[in-house]
Chain A
Amino acid sequence: GENVEQHPSTLSVQEGDSAVIKCTYSDSASNYFPWYKQELGKGPQLIIDIRSNVGEKKDQRIAVTLNKTAKHFSLHITETQPEDSAVYFCAAHTGGFKTIFGAGTRLFVKA
């Protein structure tokens, strides 16, 4: 079955710096890759996604890249702000009904 590995598990950056979170997946049939942000005491919230026919997608300060050959995808946050501090989950979906989540990255943005 699908397996998603996410790195790093913890990331600490200075406000204004960039943050990058990387994920790899095992099932080459995966075709949809969402990213979720989870703030303390809340459920994960979809913040951006990318489909397998696209290599990069950007939404303001966040961007995702996908390398299908290498089976890895990344989340990039530029000009980080304290409110970006949260746990971020990557996920991979194969077109059935299961989405497999990575283990999460706890991001700290220091003011």
Chain B
Amino acid sequence: DARVTQTPRHKVTEMGQEVTMRCQPILGHNTVFWYRQTMMQGLELLAYFRNRAPLDDSGMPKDRFSAEMPDATLATLKIQPSEPRDSAVYFCASGFTGGNYGYTFGSGTRLTVV
């Protein structure tokens, strides 16, 4: 089965440090999403890309979060500087244009900022 691969699976870092999360979408999918999941907020859309171009990142705190897609096989989400309130599970998902075929999610990166 085709899979979305996320690394690392777990990350513990100190407040103020930079965090980089990586995602390898399914080959051929042209849309990539970053979601954040917390107990209180459910699945929160942070950013998404179509054909590697950022379409919407309005869900991200701009001063500290950035999302890029340097090539079709890699998407990154960076937090600099990290804060304890950033602790959550971050999911990457990929799919086809239009979204009428559902998304495939990765297993997530569990981030803990202490």
User: Interface on A for B, CB 8 Å cutoff?
Assistant: 31-32, 34, 36, 41-46, 49, 51, 89, 93, 95-99, 101-104
Contacts and interface: CB of A to CB of B under 8 A. Distances in A.
Contact of B105 (A45, A49, A98): A45
A46 B45 contact: no
B99 interface: yes
Interface of B: 4, 31, 42-43, 45, 48, 50, 55-56, 91, 93, 97-100, 102-108
A98 B27 CA distance: 20
Given A43-B91, A44-B91, A104-B42, A99 B103 contact: yes
Contact of B56 (A98, A101, A104): A98
Nearest to A95: B98
Contacts of A98: 45, 48, 56, 99
Contacts of A101: 42-43
Nearest to A102: B42
Contacts of B108: 42-43
A93 to B, nearest CB: 5
Nearest to A93: B99
Nearest to A100: B45
A46 B56 contact: no
B12 to A, nearest CB: 16
A31 B100 contact: yes
Contacts of A97: 31, 48, 50, 55-56, 97-99
